[in-house]
Amino acid sequence: MRNLVWAIGLNLIVVAIAAVVIVGLGRNDRGTATSTHSNVNVEESAARASEALGFRAADAEPEGFTVRDAQMSTAEPAYWEVRYTSPSGALETLLQSQTDFSTLSPRIRGKVTQADYFEITGTECAQLNVEVRSTDKDSGGTKAATGLVCSARETTLIVYGPGEKDEHVALMKAALDRVNK
């Protein structure tokens, strides 16, 4: 009986040690996904994308924004897309292509309508209203997001997300500055 208790106890200790090794209890890297520093070098990614896409991809990194990810697609319509965390913590997306807005707008989730026209650094832009279906019962089934669309250097630039209009404008200004260089 004593040998049986020792065998079970020893097995439990071995299993516990194996669990610690496999699962990594006490690891120090659990919070790295919420890092305030981006692991994406948007300037290098945009340079590679520019070669493949045939237009200068915007490599904007405005102050206070953190790049989440960047990607390109050469399928029609070819586009460059960068997602940011805005200073307020909202997801902001920059979308760029050589196509017009009507061809590019299906890349935006939700029903998109253009509103007021205005200028940003000498470039004609339009305000966007984006209506997205929501599962949140308090929102009445839809959520509203806003955005901007501008044309510069034979490309269409779209900035959209749930962030503030000032954040959209700051990101668009930075993107226009990079594209118009």
Hey, how many other C-beta atoms are within 10 angstroms of the C-beta on 148? 22
Q: What whole-number distance in Å separates Cα of residue 98 and Cα of residue 153? A: 9
Q: What is the pLDDT of residues 166-179, one digit of tens each?
A: 999 999 999 999 98
CATH number (domain holding residue 76): 3.40.1000
| 1 within some domain | no
Give the per-residue pLDDT at 65. Answer: 94
In a domain? residue 85:
yes
Predicted model pTM: 0.75
Tokens of 33: 């996904």
The CA–CA distances, whole Å, from 16 to 7, 8, 22, 25, 29 equal 14, 12, 10, 11, 21
- Residue 82 falls within a domain, yes or no? yes
Contact between 80 and 96 (Cβ < 8 Å): yes
Would you say how long the chain is, in residues?
181
The pLDDT, as a whole number, for residue 25 is 61
- Asked if the model's pLDDT at residue 6 lies above 60, the reply is yes
In a domain, residue 21? The reply is no
Determine whether 14 is exposed, middle or buried from the number of CB atoms within 10 Å of its CB (0-12, 13-18, 19+).
exposed
User: What does the pLDDT look like over 114-140, one tens digit per residue?
Assistant: 989 999 988 999 999 988 876 666 656
**pLDDT bucket at 33, cuts 50 / 70 / 90:** very low
**Does 35 have pLDDT greater than 50?**
no
The pLDDT, as a whole number, for residue 139 is 55
Confidence of residue 38 (pLDDT cuts 50, 70, 90): low
Q: Per the structure, how many domains does the chain have? A: 1
For residue 9, being part of any structural domain is answered with no
For the chain, what percent of residues have pLDDT higher than 90?
A: 52
Range of the domain at 125: 35-179
The pLDDT value given to residue 32:
42
